[in-house]
A and B are shown apart, each in its own frame.
Chain A
Amino acid sequence: MSEKHEPGMAYSMPKLNKIMAFLSFILLATTIWVFLDDYIRPWKAIQIEALKIQRHHTELEIEAAQKEIDEPKLQEFKKSLLTGEEIVTSRNSEIAKVEKELSKVRASLKDQTIKNGFFNADSTALNFQYESAEGHGRELEAKEKLKALQKLKAEFDLGKNNFKSLQEKEKEILGRLADLNKEVITIQKEIKNVTGKLELLQAAKKQTDMDPIFALRNMPFLDFLDPTIKIQQIVLKDVTDDRYFRQIDKVDRCITCHVFIDKPGYEKENNPFRTHPKLDLMVGMSSKHPMKQVGCTVCHGGEGHRVNDFVTVAHTPNNEKQEKEWVAKYGWKEAHHIAQPMFKLSQTEAGCVKCHSGVELIPGATVLNEGRLAIVKNGCYACHKIEGWEGKRKPGPSLLKIASKVDKEWFKSWVWSPRSINAHSKMPSFFGQSNNSIPEFTKLNLTEVNAIAEYVWEKSKPYQPNEKFHPGNAVNGKKLIGEIGCLACHGVEGLEEQSKKIGGFAGPYLSGIGSKVKPDWLVSWLKKPWHYQEDTIMPSMRLTDSEASDIATYLLSLKNPKVEGLKFAEFDKTLRDYLLADYLSAFDTIEMAREKVSKMDDHFKTMDLGKRSIGKYGCYSCHNIEGFDGIPPIGTELTKEGSKPITQFFFGLQHQVPLKRDAWITAHLQNPRRWDIGIDKAFRDKLRMPNFYLSESEATKITTAILGQVADVVPMSGVKRYTAGEAIYNDGMKVVNKFNCVGCHQVDGMRGDILRGYEDDINLAPPRLVKEGQRVQPNWMYHFLGNVVPIRPTLTIRMPSFNLSLSDKNRIIAGFQQGANQGTYEEPAIEVTWLPGEKDQAVKLFNAYACTSCHTIGFNKNTPMAPDLHKASARLRPSWIRLWLHDPQKILPGTTMPTFFTEDGKGIEAGFFDGDAERQINALTKYVIELGGVGLK
């Protein structure tokens, strides 16, 4: 060991101190940085900007309010205020005396309040002591306490009494004081009336001052106390966010930046300062979707609880142009891993779906409704299950008796390429697509179509048409088709312009019929469609034999030269065997499969391939085909398509399609086979969704409807819940939609496609049904639906006779009743009782208003222009007749029925019933009821 040394120093102390000073400074600087970093938030700048905008608006309002003030009047008031003040000043000594008196009374009042407070506290405590002593059997003590308590209570009562009398006195003195000041007070009130609004506005402006107090409240370190610049939020109890392990109340903080979203008057500001459009429907306090109850992201999507910055909340640009703008302005990019980013503005209506289930069309949701109609039109729901869309009819015609309807060769050509036979075909194209048009696959496809036809024909049941075709007048037939209402459901060749205008789509577009169906079948179908197909929605138009012949003659004259004499490719039996072996090789070796196939007999092989092919392409999803009962539809379920993660969409090599859910759906709808392009796949694995050749606009609308199909769990309390009546109405409307009643009738403002063909005179169109349940008697409607009788003599268009089931009729009637809030029957008038002399006047009035100039039937020989009044009482509810007479334009704008009554309750004909509208209407209603033979028969 070396000898012991005193320990020394390794570093120089002043140098160490300098380092310490430097490091301390760094730590201080970083600490300040922490607070600043925490303090500076993007939304604060926005709120300050909003404050400035608000101030500007208030200033403008102040200016306007100042202009409103009647200056000379104000000056006058001020003058009289001066004189009033003089008078009051002369009473100064008196006022001073009264005021002294007042302050004395007020002092006593305060004193009594304190005393009473003690009385109250003491007596309750004493009460407890008494009751507790009594309860524990300390009788002596209880007695004493009770005595004390009673004494105290008596004193308390006196105190309370005194308090009341003091209050009385105070009131009296205040009255005197007001009396002494009355010359000033009244004038002051007048002045307040003039300047009140201005003062309120000025107070509002003061709230937007950025004064030292404002700065102090929002200062870093102090802003936790009571800041004015702060995060604003809406907490929703009825709608939750799925946080995977639990549902959390939805919190939307969008209003932190979208400050004026619910305040009218900021419509012209730039976002985020703009007012929400349609405040009466959305966001507004009195709208159906008030902000405090519905929030923002429920409809719009996005991460409503985040306020970090523009990007993380998952704003979504509406188009590429906006995306570029946002990238430049906010550094926008796709938010990371967000299940439901904000919907594009043009797709916002998709947000309606999750709450508004169980209804087909949502009033006000234009794009969504068009998308849903396109789904109905193209029959997407038939192959793709969508919850809430179950139980709709199959969009294609039944093939159960097809052999008696069309030619087999035609059938094959049609299946092969419907579009080339009928350009308007709703049947989509399975073959000749981008993934199966190489010669090798085409040959296989041809074999499949041949097998399908063989299968369908084999299973087709015999059918004997119940009519014979006799040639008629084609020109008249064409005229009838245009007039009687066929166009509400069908487009028709030769009537292209009208067809396009009306756009009927419930039935097929009728072209080349002469090359398609057999004449006898056609006549039979026209006269009684359900003779051939029981569940068809095609109605009977109650055609006479000659009308039916004429129409059939016209339709049969529509030949399609492309299919005339067309022979489909030969059935290639080697390829049939090849395909069958391919199917079987899924479980066997290919040799085994081939051997199995070679052992089958020829007919069985054809049938087997036919059935497998129908299953493969899902024909049975749209058409009724024997042997496919109860088999679920072929397509992917779309109920939750809007929440499917983007990674589960296969984009293949379609690099031009943006990696977004909506872009995929739109691209898919326009060409479903595109994902196969360039992908190495065997024939059997090729995509099979057929091509509907949808336009981009139609595809985007359907996309919106599908995007709305989200998996979000909305608690029962948050979903739009229908009242019993609304549910019955919606159910009725489903039947109305199924039979395409809405092709002709506009029902409560929705649809009425054929009206587009009657722009010149709406009175020639089928009647619009506005609160139909309020108009007609249910009993009448039931009989009418079963046995249609024409009502309006001027109409050439006919109400068809549908093959409605009892349940369908009931649902329609109940739906209409509930839709008009008519829960029950209205007791029909059994007997009309007239007041003395009333009938006499009623008849005269009836003539004075010249009712019979239009309602001629049964009154004169003129051409009738309006319904037969003799039948009105059986059909209409008396209450509705009154409403109708009162103001027909209000119910059916544009009706030819004149209005006889003025708004102030007078009849135009003043000479009857003292010109009183109410009494005139009453009398006319009674008369009309009596015309019907009193009451219902």
Chain B
Amino acid sequence: MLRELVNSISDPIFSFPLCTFGFYMMLKHYKIVGTKKFAYWTTAGMLPIIAWFLADTNFFSIIKTPDNIPIIILLLAVVFFTWFSIHKAAINDTRIENGECPIEGTEENREKIWCWPNLVYIELFAIIACTAFLIVWAIVFKAPLEEPANPTWAPNPAKAPWYFLGLQEMLVYFDPWMAGVVLPLIIVAGLIAIPYLDTNPKGNGYYTFLERKMAISLFLYGWLVLWIFLIIVGVFLRGPNWTFYGPFEFWDLHKVVSSFNVNLSELVWVKGLGIGMPKNLIVREIFGIVACLGYIMLLPPWIAKATKKGKEIYENIGFIRYNILMFMFLMMMSLPIKMILRWLLSLKYIVALPEWELNL
């Protein structure tokens, strides 16, 4: 019963909003989240749940797959380091609020020490420990090599390397051209642009959330919810035929889920207006085109004018930076928007112009 509940709320339809909500709560109460007490209690609370998960054969068989083990290690690392930075930021922010300098700025933390052995020797330790760990790992878990590739008998599910599974998950919602080419390029460009867009000098050399609320929230949302979460879904919850399988569900090759999607133009012309599809392509897709153009072109100036925060940012970073930032932000948000539209309206494409290879 409980397992079925977990299975069904793991579906992105539920788990994605839950995750977003959790992310919001984490940032809102970051000072509580950042305490060691919270960490200890949460860990203690999670242990029996994890044990319960592991006791399930289906879940365990997915977890123990040799390819998935490093992903679990990485996920644990993400959790720890995210908490660690919040923990440090929470301490510093309390100090800043009290008018003190951050911990990193205290007299004793500004003292200098010798590079050797304090840094280099410890780096050597890390190298040796890592090497030994990798050796043991390689022996205990044999390389998951398979048979020679057979084009007529491909593995099912056919999955990308784990670090691309977020992109592969995006393929569910976007045209391959968008999910596979345009969005990844924008992600890379956006990451490169961050230092040029961010003119806030605070937070250099010390942990803080208070002084960089906006930058950290935006980045972490993209990183944790839109990237890491999608990788988790792609690795553990997508089975044969890229169908969704709950964590306790057996990967039945023959599972079929009902899925049928319609384009925005069809929704408006056929369902909404009750008339047929216009012949002219532009007229046919005019609603989608207008919506997209409005989203990209009109939203940024409107935000800059109408909202307090928007005005503030615009004034701080100037016209060009502001527009680039907004473009990146809107592109990022197009993913959750598209997901929600898919779930609510079974929407396939907002602009569907397969004639021009343009599907948005």
Interface residues of A (CB under 8 A from B): 2, 5, 7-11, 13, 16, 19-20, 23-24, 26-27, 30-31, 33-34, 37, 243-245, 336-339, 645, 647
Contact = CB atoms under 8 A, between A and B. Distances in A.
Given A7-B113, A8-B114, A13-B117, A34 B147 contact: no
B152 to A, nearest CB: 8
B148 interface: yes
A19 B125 CA distance: 8
B110 interface: yes
B135 A30 contact: yes
B118 interface: yes
A8 B135 contact: no
Given A26-B132, A243-B148, 12 more contacts: A2-B107, A9-B113, A10-B118, A11-B118, A16-B121, A23-B125, A24-B128, A27-B128, A244-B148, A244-B150, A245-B149, A339-B147
Contact of B147 (A16, A31, A337): A337
B146 interface: yes
B136 interface: yes
Nearest to A337: B147
B136 A30 contact: yes
Contacts of B125: 19-20, 23
A336 B128 CA distance: 36
B150 A339 contact: yes
A8 B117 CA distance: 11
B112 A5 contact: yes
Contacts of B124: 20
Nearest to B121: A16
B150 A33 contact: no
A245 B149 CA distance: 9
Contacts of B152: 244
B131 interface: yes
Contacts, number: 70
B134 to A, nearest CB: 9
B153 interface: yes
B129 interface: yes
Nearest to A37: B139
A306 to B, nearest CB: 10
30 contacts: A2-B110, A5-B112, A7-B114, A8-B114, A9-B114, A11-B118, A11-B122, A16-B117, A16-B122, A20-B121, A20-B124, A23-B125, A23-B129, A23-B132, A26-B128, A26-B129, A26-B132, A27-B132, A30-B135, A31-B135, A33-B136, A33-B139, A37-B139, A243-B148, A244-B152, A336-B147, A337-B146, A337-B147, A339-B147, A339-B153
9 pairs of A and B residues whose beta carbons are closest in the complex? A7-B112, A30-B135, A23-B128, A10-B118, A243-B148, A10-B113, A30-B132, A26-B132, A244-B150
Contacts of B131: 27, 30
B73 to A, nearest CB: 18
Interface of B: 107, 110-114, 117-118, 121-122, 124-125, 128-129, 131-132, 135-136, 139, 146-153, 155, 253
Contacts of A9: 113-114, 118
A33 B111 CA distance: 44
Contacts of A244: 148-152
Contacts of B122: 11, 16
B253 A647 contact: yes
Contacts of B155: 337
B148 A336 contact: no
Contacts of B121: 16, 20
B147 A8 contact: no
A6 to B, nearest CB: 8
A26 B125 CA distance: 11
A702 B15 CA distance: 53
Contacts of B153: 337, 339, 645, 647
B117 A336 contact: no
Contacts of A11: 117-118, 122
Contacts of B150: 244, 339
Nearest to A246: B148
- Name which of B114, B124, B136, B148 has the most chain A CB atoms within 10 A of its CB: B148
Nearest to B119: A10
A739 B67 CA distance: 61
A34 B253 CA distance: 38
Contacts of A24: 128
Contacts of B128: 23-24, 26-27
B313 to A, nearest CB: 34
Given A244-B151, A337-B147, A5 B111 contact: yes
Contacts of B136: 30, 33
A726 to B, nearest CB: 35
A33 B138 CA distance: 11
B305 to A, nearest CB: 45
A8 B107 CA distance: 14
Contacts of A31: 135
Contact of B146 (A19, A34, A336): A336
Nearest to B112: A7
A8 B113 contact: yes
A809 to B, nearest CB: 46
A756 B136 CA distance: 69
Nearest to A303: B147
A243 B152 CA distance: 12
A20 B150 CA distance: 48
B57 to A, nearest CB: 15
A790 B282 CA distance: 92
A243 B153 CA distance: 12
A34 B135 contact: yes
A31 B150 CA distance: 36
A372 B131 CA distance: 60
A647 to B, nearest CB: 7
Contact of A338 (B112, B114, B117, B147): B147
Contacts of B129: 23, 26
Contacts of A16: 117, 121-122
Contacts of B107: 2
A33 B136 CA distance: 8
Contacts of A33: 135-136, 139
Contacts of B118: 9-11
Contacts of A37: 139
A100 to B, nearest CB: 67
Contacts of B147: 336-339
B60 to A, nearest CB: 17
Nearest to B253: A647
Contacts of A337: 146-147, 153, 155
B154 to A, nearest CB: 10
A26 B112 CA distance: 32
Nearest to A38: B139
A610 to B, nearest CB: 38
Contacts of A20: 121, 124-125
A322 to B, nearest CB: 25
Nearest to A13: B117
Contacts of A2: 107, 110
A364 to B, nearest CB: 33
A23 B129 CA distance: 6
Interface centre among A13, A24, A26, A336 (most CB of B within 10 A): A26
Nearest to B110: A2
Contacts of A245: 149
A2 B131 CA distance: 41
Nearest to B118: A10
A737 B139 CA distance: 60
B138 to A, nearest CB: 8
Nearest to B117: A16
Query: Which of A2, A27, A338 has the most C-beta atoms of chain B within 10 angstroms of its own C-beta?
Result: A27
B310 to A, nearest CB: 40
Contacts of B110: 2
Contacts of B132: 23, 26-27, 30
A31 B110 CA distance: 41
Nearest to A6: B112
Nearest to A244: B150
A561 B109 CA distance: 110
A339 B146 CA distance: 12
